[in-house]
Amino acid sequence: MSGDSRNFATPLASHGLDPEGSVHWNLGWEELHESAVELGEAKLTADGVLLATTGERTGRSPNDRFIVDEAGMAEEVLWGEVNRPTAPAVFDRLLAKTRAHLNSAENLFVKDAFCGADPEYRMPVRLVSEKAWHASFMHNMFVRATKEELVSHVPEYTILHAPDLRSSMSDGVNSDVFVIIALDRKLVIIGGTHYAGEIKKAIFTIMNHILPAKGLLPMHCSANTDGDNTALFFGLSGTGKTTLSADPGRALVGDDEHGWSDNGVFNFEGGCYAKLIRLSEEDEPAIYATTKMPGSILENVVLNADGTPDFDNGSLTQNTRGSYPIEYIENRTPDSMAGNRRMSCS
């Protein structure tokens, strides 16, 4: 593990961290995958693609996700089953445990990136994780910063990611898993779950909060374009947005999360997180091709004896996933943006 691109503008001390172990800054996917295999976090398929399993939690944990009910939040958040409130004291207790856990970790992996392809509205973000493969997921899924940008990168929001840390009912949460977003403090803590989708969903929640105040519409949709007409496909997770947007006759803008501004539609992300159950080369050739490209990550996919993925095997979960950089899709818009002169929605 080498080749760190250290960020002196925003050290880990700014997040209340003082690690005892090694800190690996902004490694490329090659080094992150090598580290994940060396540390026993994941293995490689016959094609050299990283494969990780997430244990008991193979999807998001909505009952364990909270937003801190801080002063001034009452009028800004629509509280309910989706946005569950929790007290600042609960967050402080688990934040202290998360910091202590990360400080004692043998390795920490820091990944700086941006959320938002439109430079006018992009948000600098950071992940601090005890797992190399989750840092690689962050690398795939968000807009990658240049070496020059990394030197001065100041994250607006930071995720402290401790999947091996378990909470308890005495901590004031519902189970041994917690995902807590503190909007005022610009901090997210995640513990007890290895499911990588919690990382991207936490950032999407934050964008849902901040963009409307800027006059933008955040959207849970995929998007593609023919250059004149931009199509948006709305739907919940796993309903086929990625598949619908992968149209060989149209350029992909993004597969899941977008913003709509006066400039047009822009992807929040720098990658795709496709559902892979029953994936076939015949039906979805572009997505299938990414599962053979090193740099991609397969999540909870079962391997055959020869090391090839069995996409029909749902014994771990029906929610098998693939994460890959958007550049792995050949037919895409070069800047992950599209105009809004003509729009269609479905």
In this structure, is the dihedral angle defined by the CA atoms of residues 295, 245, 60 and 18, taken in order, positive or negative?
positive
For the question of residue 193 being annotated catalytic, the response is no
For residue 80, the Cα-to-chain-centroid distance in whole angstroms is: 24
241 part of the active site: yes
Catalytic-residue membership of 158:
no
Catalytic residue among 122, 126, 200, 241: 241
Backbone angles phi, psi at 180, to 5 degrees: -125, 130
DSSP state string for 267-314: ES-SEEEEE-TT--TTT-HHHHHHTTSBTBEEESPEEPTTS-EETT--
Angle, vertex CA 32, rays to CA 26 and CA 34, nearest 5:
150
Which entry of 200, 275, 321, 332 is annotated as an active-site residue?
321
Q: Please pick, among 101, 237, 247, 292, the residue that the annotation labels catalytic.
A: 237
Catalytic residue among 24, 33, 60, 122: 60
Catalytic position from the list 43, 186, 209, 220: 220
Q: Is 220 a catalytic residue?
A: yes
Q: How far apart are CA 129 and CA 115, in angstroms?
A: 18
The residue from 86, 242, 261, 290 that is catalytic is 242
Whether 164 is a known active-site residue: answer: no
Helix (H, G, I), strand (E, B) or coil at 201: helix
Residue 200 appears among annotated catalytic residues? no
User: Over the range 159-177, which residues count as b (16 or more CB within 10 Å of their CB) and which as e?
Assistant: bbbbbebbbeeebbbbbbb
Q: Catalytic residue among 58, 97, 256, 258, which?
A: 256
Catalytic residue among 161, 201, 250, 275, which? 201
201 is catalytic: yes
Residue 275 annotated as catalytic: no
Residues acting as catalytic residues: 60, 201, 220, 237, 241-242, 256, 321
